Structure 1
Amino acid sequence: MDLQYFFHRSKKLSDENKKFLTGLKKKDIRKVDIAFHELHEAVFEETDCLACANCCKTTSPIFYPVDIERAAKYLRIKPGDFVEQYLRIDADKDYVLQSSPCTFLGEDNHCTIYESRPKACREYPHTDRKKMVQIMELTHKNTLVCPAVFEIVERLKKVGV
């Protein structure tokens, strides 16, 4: 995975991708979902997330109370201790990690709390969810973080929706 090349391309095409994704909001929701889901499957068959882990290196998921409970239980600590040790409250009043890369990212790019990871990590990069048109801003942001999302959008532009 050549992340430098990815960063260069994704940044170069950012405005174009934003315009394309914004335009999808006016399309048939079902057609957009079908196109995204088909490309999600195809791209992730070719993608080894463990070779990249850029999402874990550069962003923080939101930790909801259920995520905090689950992770704390997995680590055998109290939820309050988990919050104090690993989390902070961001500008949106959400719990997020204190720093990047993720505290739980191992040297081999494996998650050390994988079984109890937060919902945001479980669902990332959100390209297989229903009503994709509702998250075009997030999808655009993810084209700058995740090479797979960038590839999905590039293929979408070629096939048209």
Structure 2
Amino acid sequence: MDLYEDWQKNSKVKLKEHQTFLKRLKKQKKGKQIDQIVNDLDERAFEHFDCLDCANCCKTISPVVTATDVKRIGKHLRIKETEVIEHYLNVDHEGDYVMNKQPCPFLGSDNYCSIYEARPKACREYPLTQNQGFNQRPALHARNTITCPVVFHVVKELKKNL
């Protein structure tokens, strides 16, 4: 079974188990060690997985879009920042800008992003498995195991390593 099939079959079934594991992981004092293991697992997972085969993140979640992102997207599209906000963004319950529809309005039918070079910072950093402090955000990473097969694989393998 490949990475994608394993994720499709098991991500929801394993969610509670992953939540519990990641909560316990937060209590450990081995943050830098965990980050290195997660980074290595992320690199290995991406050797077997191409985001263009999935694009589930672009289809199901709305990233936070910062003022800097709005400026960059506007420049890329050659439209005013106010037009970016008006045509593509909403304000969420926390007062942040997010995409106004799902799938992302910039996602093509081929899973390519039409603003890839100007995409929001949140998109650039996703799936957050290369960031520092992995063990400090257990709820986020648990949710991401359902959204992203790479995160699912990283958490699954992390459980084996620790």
| Aligned length in residues | 160
Structure 2 residue 27 is the aligned partner of structure 1 residue 26: yes
Q: Residue 133 of structure 2 corresponds to which residue in structure 1?
A: 131
Shift of 1:6: 3.0
Moved over 2 A (4+): 1-8
**2:15 aligned with 1:14:** yes
For the pair 1:143 / 2:145, whether they are aligned, the reply is yes
- Return the alpha-carbon distance in structure 1 between the equivalents of residues 8 and 161 of structure 2: 23
Q: Is structure 2 residue 132 aligned with structure 1 residue 95?
A: no
1:78 aligns with 2:80: yes
68, 71, 75: which one aligns with 1:69:
71
- Cα deviations across residues 22-61 of structure 1 (Å, max 9, x unaligned)? 1111221111111111101111111111000000011111
SS at match of 2:135: helix
In structure 2, the partner of 1:46 is: 48
Q: 1:105 aligns with which of 70, 87, 107?
A: 107
**Which amino acid in the other structure matches residue 24 of structure 1?**
L
Do the aligned residues in 1 keep the contact of 2:66 with 2:97 (CA within 8 Å)?
yes
Unaligned runs of 5+ in 1: none
What is the RMSD of the two structures over their aligned residues, measured on CA atoms?
1.5
Q: Distance in 1 between matches of 2:143 and 2:52?
A: 20
| SS in structure 1 at match of 2:90 | strand
Write the distance in 1 (CA, Å) between the matches of 2:84 and 2:58. 18
Aligned to 2:160: 158
Kindly state the Cα deviation for residue 4 of structure 1 after the two structures are TM-superposed. Answer: 7.6
Which deviates more from structure 2 when the two are superposed, residues 147-156 or residues 131-140?
A: 131-140
User: SS at the partner of 1:101?
Assistant: coil
Provide the TM-score with structure 1 as the length reference: 0.94
Helix, strand or coil: the match of 1:11?
A: coil
Identity, in percent, stands at 45
Q: Distance in 2 between matches of 1:4 and 1:90?
A: 33
Matches of 2:7 and 2:142, distance apart in 1: 14
The AA in structure 1 aligned to 2:15 is S
Tell me, in whole angstroms, the C-alpha distance in 1 between the residues paired with 2:133 and 2:21. 16
Q: Normalising to structure 2: TM-score of the pair?
A: 0.94
